[in-house]
Amino acid sequence: MKEFKGRIIAPGTVTAPALVSHGGLNTLASFQKALLFGDKKATCSDQNNPDLFNKPMHGKALCLPQTIGSTTGGLVLYAACAMDRQPACMLFSKPIDSLAAAGAILASVWLEGISMPVVDSLGDEFLAYVTDDMSITVKEDGTVCVG
């Protein structure tokens, strides 16, 4: 088991299987099926992300470098949480962008009973180490255990 320490964006603890993207996550393109067509598994619909395309994101520890795309990113993350189609957590190797951070923070503050811990700045070594389906545990202090 290897531990990585990051910055807490949205608090919480969780253990979930990893889902890894080495490219940026286009939130609108990725969550389109979940938000518009009721896909409860939040199957990634972004054809430009070969790491995630057609894979379910709901309940997974989504490991990624950063988000990319439009200014709707924060709203999309908030809506995914409001509809209970969010990843178990989001773990960024790089610093999170302000739009994604806003969506995650608003979801953690405004939505009762919904949890999507978000930790950023975990480093390039984190993303190089983690692979799909590895067990990920996020601790209260921003420590991410990969095993």
Residues written for the chain: 147
Residue 11 CA to its chain's centroid (Å): 13
pLDDT exceeds 90 at position 69 = no
pLDDT exceeds 90 at position 70 = no
Residues 6+ apart with CB under 8 A from 62: 19, 21, 25, 87, 88, 89, 90, 91
- 19, 63 Cβ separation under 8 angstroms: yes
When pLDDT is averaged across residues 46-57 and rounded to a whole number, the result is 98
- 29, 48 Cβ separation under 8 angstroms: yes
pLDDT at 142: 97
Q: Topology of domain 2-146, per CATH?
A: Glucose Oxidase; domain 1 (3.50.30)
pTM above 0.85, yes or no: yes
When pLDDT is averaged across residues 87-93 and rounded to a whole number, the result is 98
Amino acid of residue 118: V
Provide the mean pLDDT of the chain: 97
* Spans of all domains in the chain: 2-146
Coil, helix or strand for 85? coil
Residues 6+ apart with CB under 8 A from 23: 48, 49, 50, 51, 64, 65
